[in-house]
Amino acid sequence: MCRQLCGGGGGRVKVRGSERVRGSTDTITSHTDCRPCSTLPVPPPLQDPTPSAAQGENDVIERKRNKSRLTPWHYNKEHYQPPEPLTEDEEVMQCLRNQRYRLGRYGSASGINLTKAWPSKEELALEREWEKVSYPHSIHQMIDITKKQRDEEHKAIKQRQEDISRKLLHLDKWKNDLNTRLAKQEQVAREAKEKKERLIEEVRDILGFRVDPRDERFKEALELKEKEEKKRSKAAKKLAKEQRMLDQLRKEVEGTDTGKKEQEEEEGKSLHGTVIA
């Protein structure tokens, strides 16, 4: 640069009282060494980059290190970092509930004004009205209601325990009744099975040879045998019913005869007493 300012080319230039040939390999270390350039303003030395530039470079590095490809909002939420502060427009557009949530989660780092955490007059009025509707009773009334409920619960528990104790007294009787009923059911099932087996054997005896129960001839013979068995059972029941009716009539007749005899005896006694008199 100094060579250009000094005219360049050959010739001699005085530098600090000495002569140097233009175009030689000697270099001028600074502008002050050159007389024509000594009057020019000296440029300032190089300085370190500004903090904003360094911050921008750090942001670029952090973005390159972030391999998750998450949006800034999701990245901050995942790493529990406060989000970017709201702008004036965002603060106007965003609802008060979300701003309170950000303030409660991130504190002062959220950039939300603390006064927004306090409810407004309308909210306080609604809260008082809600409390009146939800809790209409005073503290003393609530205490009395709680005591009454507790007494009723204790009373119900006591009644249930007494009922259980009373039922335990009949437990043995109920067990015996259950066992008797089960034994009767088993006996009925066993008799039905024996009856079925007996009918099968009778049918085989009638046919004269052993036959598969799934055979049609066996089924027809078994149906006929069952019908006959039903007829005999019905006749036996009818006979038993007639016998019960006869017994009842006999008892009624005997009772009538006994009443007549007692009446005749009483009449005879009364006549005998009259004759004696």
Q: Please give the average per-residue pLDDT across 181-196, as a whole number.
A: 89
pLDDT category at 81 given cuts 50, 70, 90 is confident
Rg (CA), the chain: 61
43 vs 139, more confident: 139
pTM, 2 dp: 0.33
34-43, 59-68, 109-118, 207-216: least confident range: 34-43
Query: Residue 270 above 50 pLDDT?
Result: yes
Nearest C-alpha neighbor of 223 from the set 198, 204, 199 = 199
Query: Residue 199 above 80 pLDDT?
Result: no
Give the best-scoring range by mean pLDDT among 60-64, 131-135, 253-257: 131-135
Domain ranges of the chain: 2-33, 72-118, 129-161, 170-236
127-131, 141-145, 197-201: least confident range: 197-201
Question: In whole numbers, what is the pLDDT of the chain averaged over residues?
Answer: 76
Q: Please give the average per-residue pLDDT across 151-177, as a whole number.
A: 94
Query: Residue 38 above 90 pLDDT?
Result: no
Beta-carbon count within 10 A of 69 CB: 7
Chain centroid to CA 194: how far? Answer: 54
Give residue for tokens 């350039």. Answer: 37
| The dihedral formed by the CA atoms of 263, 268, 273 and 277, expressed in degrees to the nearest 10 | 130
Amino acid sitting at position 266? E
Check: CB of residue 103 under 8 Å from CB of residue 117. yes
Q: How far apart are CA 34 and CA 3, in angstroms?
A: 9
What totals of helices (H) and strands (E) does the chain contain, helices first?
9, 2
Model confidence pLDDT, tens digit, residues 85-127 = 888 888 888 888 889 988 888 888 888 888 888 888 999 999 9
226 HSE (CA, 13 A, CB side): 11
Interhelix angle 171-207/216-276, rounded to 10 degrees, is 120
Q: Which helix (H) or strand (E) holds 18?
A: strand 18-21
Q: How far apart are CA 166 and CA 200, in angstroms?
A: 52
Query: Residue 150 above 80 pLDDT?
Result: yes
Interhelix angle 171-207/139-169, rounded to 10 degrees, is 50
- The confidence score (pLDDT) of residue 151 equals 96
